[in-house]
Amino acid sequence: MSDDTALPRASQPTGACLFDGQPAVHLRSPAGAQATVLLHGSHVVSWIPALGEEQLYLSPTSALGGTAAVRGGVPVIFPQFNQQGPLPKHGFARNRAWTLQEATVRGEHAFAVLRLDADESTRAIWPHGFALEMTISVDARRLEMELAVINTGDSTIEFQAALHTYLRCGDVRRAQLEGLQNVNYQDAVIDQPRQQWVDVVTIAQELDRIYWEAPRELLLREAGRKVRIIASQFEDTVVWNPGPEKCASLPDMPDEDWPQMLCVEAAQIGNPVRLSPGEEWAGMQTLVLES
Protein backbone atom coordinates (compact mmCIF):
# COMPACT_ATOMS: atom_id res chain seq x y z
CA MET A 1 0.00 0.00 0.00
CA SER A 2 1.22 3.47 -0.76
CA ASP A 3 0.38 6.68 1.07
CA ASP A 4 -0.69 9.37 -1.39
CA THR A 5 -0.73 12.25 1.06
CA ALA A 6 1.33 15.31 0.24
CA LEU A 7 3.49 15.08 3.36
CA PRO A 8 5.68 12.25 4.65
CA ARG A 9 3.71 10.29 7.23
CA ALA A 10 5.99 11.32 10.12
CA SER A 11 5.13 14.98 9.58
CA GLN A 12 1.44 14.71 8.68
CA PRO A 13 -0.86 16.81 10.81
CA THR A 14 -4.24 15.61 11.99
CA GLY A 15 -6.82 15.99 9.24
CA ALA A 16 -8.16 14.74 5.91
CA CYS A 17 -5.75 12.93 3.59
CA LEU A 18 -5.52 10.22 0.98
CA PHE A 19 -4.38 6.67 1.71
CA ASP A 20 -3.52 4.66 -1.39
CA GLY A 21 -5.72 7.08 -3.28
CA GLN A 22 -8.70 6.68 -0.95
CA PRO A 23 -10.26 9.42 1.23
CA ALA A 24 -9.01 9.05 4.79
CA VAL A 25 -8.21 10.95 7.95
CA HIS A 26 -4.77 10.94 9.54
CA LEU A 27 -4.32 11.40 13.30
CA ARG A 28 -1.10 12.52 14.95
CA SER A 29 -0.88 13.06 18.69
CA PRO A 30 1.46 15.63 20.28
CA ALA A 31 3.76 12.76 21.31
CA GLY A 32 3.98 11.53 17.70
CA ALA A 33 1.59 8.56 17.76
CA GLN A 34 -0.32 8.12 14.51
CA ALA A 35 -3.39 6.41 13.09
CA THR A 36 -5.03 6.44 9.67
CA VAL A 37 -8.74 5.80 9.09
CA LEU A 38 -10.43 5.27 5.73
CA LEU A 39 -13.76 6.99 5.21
CA HIS A 40 -14.76 3.76 3.44
CA GLY A 41 -16.07 1.68 6.34
CA SER A 42 -14.58 3.97 9.02
CA HIS A 43 -11.77 1.45 8.72
CA VAL A 44 -8.62 1.95 10.81
CA VAL A 45 -5.76 0.84 8.54
CA SER A 46 -2.72 1.97 10.52
CA TRP A 47 -1.65 2.55 14.12
CA ILE A 48 1.91 3.57 14.93
CA PRO A 49 2.59 4.44 18.60
CA ALA A 50 5.08 7.18 19.41
CA LEU A 51 8.63 5.99 18.67
CA GLY A 52 7.13 2.65 17.66
CA GLU A 53 6.35 0.55 14.61
CA GLU A 54 3.14 -0.41 12.80
CA GLN A 55 0.90 -2.48 15.09
CA LEU A 56 -1.86 -3.47 12.65
CA TYR A 57 -1.70 -5.93 9.77
CA LEU A 58 -2.96 -4.74 6.38
CA SER A 59 -2.78 -7.11 3.44
CA PRO A 60 -0.66 -5.68 0.60
CA THR A 61 -3.01 -7.32 -1.94
CA SER A 62 -6.29 -6.07 -0.49
CA ALA A 63 -8.32 -3.61 -2.52
CA LEU A 64 -9.23 -0.33 -0.82
CA GLY A 65 -12.42 1.61 -1.40
CA GLY A 66 -15.27 0.64 -3.68
CA THR A 67 -17.58 -2.05 -2.34
CA ALA A 68 -14.98 -4.66 -1.38
CA ALA A 69 -14.11 -5.27 2.26
CA VAL A 70 -10.55 -4.39 3.25
CA ARG A 71 -8.41 -7.30 4.49
CA GLY A 72 -6.67 -6.10 7.64
CA GLY A 73 -6.74 -3.11 9.95
CA VAL A 74 -9.98 -2.87 11.93
CA PRO A 75 -13.18 -3.54 9.96
CA VAL A 76 -16.43 -2.43 11.66
CA ILE A 77 -18.88 -5.34 11.89
CA PHE A 78 -22.56 -4.29 12.01
CA PRO A 79 -25.42 -5.29 12.24
CA GLN A 80 -24.61 -8.97 11.73
CA PHE A 81 -21.60 -11.08 12.66
CA ASN A 82 -20.25 -13.38 9.96
CA GLN A 83 -23.14 -15.30 8.38
CA GLN A 84 -25.34 -15.49 11.47
CA GLY A 85 -28.35 -14.02 9.69
CA PRO A 86 -29.78 -13.06 6.30
CA LEU A 87 -27.51 -10.09 5.58
CA PRO A 88 -24.20 -10.08 3.69
CA LYS A 89 -21.29 -11.53 5.67
CA HIS A 90 -20.41 -9.23 8.60
CA GLY A 91 -23.22 -6.85 7.67
CA PHE A 92 -22.84 -3.68 5.63
CA ALA A 93 -21.11 -1.00 7.73
CA ARG A 94 -17.61 -1.95 6.53
CA ASN A 95 -18.65 -1.42 2.90
CA ARG A 96 -20.28 2.00 3.17
CA ALA A 97 -18.90 5.52 2.84
CA TRP A 98 -18.86 7.24 6.24
CA THR A 99 -18.78 10.98 6.86
CA LEU A 100 -15.97 12.66 8.78
CA GLN A 101 -17.56 14.74 11.54
CA GLU A 102 -14.46 15.97 13.36
CA ALA A 103 -10.70 15.53 13.45
CA THR A 104 -8.68 17.44 15.99
CA VAL A 105 -6.06 17.38 18.74
CA ARG A 106 -7.07 17.90 22.33
CA GLY A 107 -4.57 17.61 25.17
CA GLU A 108 -2.43 14.53 24.60
CA HIS A 109 -4.93 12.96 22.19
CA ALA A 110 -5.63 13.21 18.48
CA PHE A 111 -9.05 11.92 17.58
CA ALA A 112 -11.61 11.68 14.82
CA VAL A 113 -15.35 11.05 14.74
CA LEU A 114 -16.96 9.40 11.71
CA ARG A 115 -20.67 8.78 11.15
CA LEU A 116 -22.90 6.51 9.09
CA ASP A 117 -26.66 7.09 8.83
CA ALA A 118 -29.35 4.82 7.47
CA ASP A 119 -30.29 5.53 3.87
CA GLU A 120 -32.25 3.90 1.06
CA SER A 121 -29.49 1.38 0.35
CA THR A 122 -29.25 0.18 3.95
CA ARG A 123 -33.02 0.10 4.41
CA ALA A 124 -33.32 -2.06 1.31
CA ILE A 125 -31.56 -4.90 3.14
CA TRP A 126 -32.12 -3.91 6.81
CA PRO A 127 -35.32 -1.85 7.18
CA HIS A 128 -34.41 0.18 10.25
CA GLY A 129 -33.38 3.70 11.18
CA PHE A 130 -29.95 3.97 12.83
CA ALA A 131 -26.84 6.08 13.13
CA LEU A 132 -23.33 4.76 13.79
CA GLU A 133 -20.52 6.86 15.19
CA MET A 134 -16.91 5.70 15.35
CA THR A 135 -14.54 7.66 17.58
CA ILE A 136 -10.85 6.85 17.10
CA SER A 137 -8.29 8.33 19.48
CA VAL A 138 -4.50 8.02 19.80
CA ASP A 139 -2.09 9.17 22.45
CA ALA A 140 1.54 8.15 22.94
CA ARG A 141 1.05 4.37 23.35
CA ARG A 142 -2.69 3.85 23.09
CA LEU A 143 -5.35 3.44 20.41
CA GLU A 144 -9.01 3.71 21.45
CA MET A 145 -11.88 2.78 19.12
CA GLU A 146 -15.47 3.31 20.22
CA LEU A 147 -18.49 2.25 18.17
CA ALA A 148 -21.78 3.91 19.13
CA VAL A 149 -25.15 2.80 17.75
CA ILE A 150 -28.22 5.06 17.97
CA ASN A 151 -31.71 3.87 17.11
CA THR A 152 -33.10 6.75 15.03
CA GLY A 153 -36.16 4.82 13.87
CA ASP A 154 -39.59 4.20 15.35
CA SER A 155 -39.23 0.50 16.17
CA THR A 156 -36.88 -1.66 18.25
CA ILE A 157 -33.68 -2.81 16.53
CA GLU A 158 -31.51 -5.82 17.32
CA PHE A 159 -27.94 -6.21 16.14
CA GLN A 160 -24.54 -7.83 16.60
CA ALA A 161 -21.33 -5.83 16.38
CA ALA A 162 -17.56 -6.28 16.46
CA LEU A 163 -14.27 -4.49 15.87
CA HIS A 164 -12.43 -7.03 13.73
CA THR A 165 -8.90 -6.07 14.77
CA TYR A 166 -5.95 -7.53 12.80
CA LEU A 167 -2.89 -7.25 15.03
CA ARG A 168 0.50 -7.43 13.32
CA CYS A 169 2.82 -10.19 14.53
CA GLY A 170 6.47 -10.91 13.87
CA ASP A 171 5.62 -14.62 13.79
CA VAL A 172 2.27 -15.66 15.26
CA ARG A 173 3.64 -19.16 15.89
CA ARG A 174 5.91 -17.61 18.55
CA ALA A 175 3.24 -15.33 20.01
CA GLN A 176 1.00 -15.97 23.00
CA LEU A 177 -2.46 -14.60 23.75
CA GLU A 178 -3.01 -14.63 27.51
CA GLY A 179 -6.09 -14.24 29.69
CA LEU A 180 -8.71 -16.67 28.36
CA GLN A 181 -8.28 -19.61 30.74
CA ASN A 182 -11.55 -21.38 31.67
CA VAL A 183 -13.57 -19.39 29.13
CA ASN A 184 -16.09 -21.29 27.01
CA TYR A 185 -15.84 -20.86 23.27
CA GLN A 186 -17.33 -22.01 19.99
CA ASP A 187 -14.70 -23.57 17.72
CA ALA A 188 -15.83 -22.65 14.21
CA VAL A 189 -13.19 -24.85 12.56
CA ILE A 190 -14.78 -28.03 13.94
CA ASP A 191 -18.18 -26.45 14.76
CA GLN A 192 -18.14 -27.59 18.38
CA PRO A 193 -18.25 -25.91 21.81
CA ARG A 194 -15.06 -26.09 23.87
CA GLN A 195 -13.46 -24.64 26.99
CA GLN A 196 -10.04 -22.99 27.15
CA TRP A 197 -8.12 -25.17 29.61
CA VAL A 198 -4.85 -23.25 29.73
CA ASP A 199 -4.10 -19.55 30.03
CA VAL A 200 -2.13 -19.23 26.81
CA VAL A 201 -3.57 -19.48 23.29
CA THR A 202 -0.96 -20.40 20.66
CA ILE A 203 -1.39 -20.60 16.89
CA ALA A 204 0.13 -23.15 14.54
CA GLN A 205 -2.74 -23.70 12.08
CA GLU A 206 -6.20 -22.33 11.34
CA LEU A 207 -7.91 -21.02 14.47
CA ASP A 208 -11.42 -19.52 14.57
CA ARG A 209 -13.06 -19.15 17.97
CA ILE A 210 -15.76 -17.07 19.64
CA TYR A 211 -15.01 -16.80 23.36
CA TRP A 212 -18.26 -16.17 25.22
CA GLU A 213 -18.34 -13.56 28.00
CA ALA A 214 -14.58 -13.14 27.77
CA PRO A 215 -12.41 -11.23 30.28
CA ARG A 216 -12.15 -7.49 29.70
CA GLU A 217 -8.33 -7.55 29.40
CA LEU A 218 -6.09 -9.81 27.35
CA LEU A 219 -2.38 -9.66 26.57
CA LEU A 220 -0.68 -10.46 23.27
CA ARG A 221 2.94 -11.26 24.01
CA GLU A 222 5.85 -11.62 21.60
CA ALA A 223 9.60 -11.33 22.04
CA GLY A 224 10.25 -7.68 22.86
CA ARG A 225 6.60 -6.62 22.59
CA LYS A 226 3.40 -6.70 24.61
CA VAL A 227 0.03 -5.34 23.51
CA ARG A 228 -2.73 -5.09 26.10
CA ILE A 229 -6.21 -5.52 24.62
CA ILE A 230 -9.06 -4.02 26.64
CA ALA A 231 -12.77 -4.31 25.84
CA SER A 232 -15.64 -2.29 27.30
CA GLN A 233 -19.32 -3.24 26.78
CA PHE A 234 -18.36 -5.94 24.29
CA GLU A 235 -19.09 -9.27 26.00
CA ASP A 236 -17.35 -11.68 23.60
CA THR A 237 -13.93 -12.02 21.97
CA VAL A 238 -13.18 -13.55 18.58
CA VAL A 239 -9.71 -14.98 17.93
CA TRP A 240 -8.91 -15.82 14.31
CA ASN A 241 -6.00 -16.77 12.09
CA PRO A 242 -6.54 -18.49 8.72
CA GLY A 243 -3.50 -20.77 8.98
CA PRO A 244 -1.49 -21.77 5.90
CA GLU A 245 -4.14 -23.75 4.00
CA LYS A 246 -7.02 -21.29 4.30
CA CYS A 247 -4.72 -18.33 3.71
CA ALA A 248 -3.71 -19.89 0.40
CA SER A 249 -7.38 -19.79 -0.63
CA LEU A 250 -7.88 -16.10 0.20
CA PRO A 251 -7.62 -13.96 -2.95
CA ASP A 252 -6.81 -10.76 -1.03
CA MET A 253 -3.97 -12.01 1.19
CA PRO A 254 -0.55 -13.40 0.22
CA ASP A 255 -0.12 -17.10 1.00
CA GLU A 256 2.93 -16.43 3.17
CA ASP A 257 1.34 -13.70 5.29
CA TRP A 258 -0.67 -15.79 7.75
CA PRO A 259 2.11 -15.80 10.40
CA GLN A 260 2.13 -11.97 10.33
CA MET A 261 -1.29 -11.42 11.93
CA LEU A 262 -3.73 -12.42 14.63
CA CYS A 263 -7.29 -11.13 14.86
CA VAL A 264 -8.42 -10.39 18.41
CA GLU A 265 -11.88 -8.88 18.06
CA ALA A 266 -14.03 -7.17 20.69
CA ALA A 267 -17.49 -8.48 19.83
CA GLN A 268 -21.14 -8.61 20.84
CA ILE A 269 -22.42 -11.84 19.29
CA GLY A 270 -24.04 -14.24 21.76
CA ASN A 271 -26.42 -11.65 23.23
CA PRO A 272 -27.45 -9.27 20.44
CA VAL A 273 -28.09 -5.69 21.54
CA ARG A 274 -31.72 -4.50 21.56
CA LEU A 275 -32.41 -0.77 21.37
CA SER A 276 -35.76 0.95 21.62
CA PRO A 277 -36.33 4.12 19.56
CA GLY A 278 -33.99 6.87 20.73
CA GLU A 279 -31.74 4.55 22.75
CA GLU A 280 -27.97 4.29 22.29
CA TRP A 281 -25.33 1.61 22.89
CA ALA A 282 -21.55 1.98 22.73
CA GLY A 283 -18.67 -0.49 22.92
CA MET A 284 -14.94 0.21 22.96
CA GLN A 285 -11.72 -1.62 22.27
CA THR A 286 -8.44 -0.17 23.54
CA LEU A 287 -4.97 -1.29 22.46
CA VAL A 288 -1.96 -0.34 24.58
CA LEU A 289 1.63 -1.02 23.54
CA GLU A 290 3.44 -1.86 26.76
CA SER A 291 6.91 -2.64 25.46
3-state secondary structure at position 248: helix
164 is catalytic: yes
Question: Which residues are CB-contacts of 105 (< 8 A; sequence separation ≥ 6)?
Answer: 14, 28, 29, 30, 111
The span from the CA of 81 to the CA of 103, in Å, is 29
- Find residue 156's DSSP bridge partners: none
Give CA–CA dist 73/47, Å, rounded: 9
Does 40 participate in catalysis according to the annotation?
no
Phi, psi dihedral angles at 96 (to 5 degrees): -120, 155
Calpha distance 192→240 (Å, rounded): 16
Distance CA 20, CA 4 (A): 6
109 vs 139: CA distance, rounded Å: 5
Q: What CA–CA distance (Å, rounded) separates 92 from 254?
A: 25
Paired sense of beta strands 176-178 and 76-77, if any: unpaired
Q: How far apart are CA 235 and CA 144, in angstroms?
A: 17
* Set 133, 146, 235, 265: catalytic member: 265
The Cα–Cα gap between 65 and 97 comes to: 9
Candidates 133, 164, 222, 235; catalytic one: 164
Catalytic center residues:
164, 265
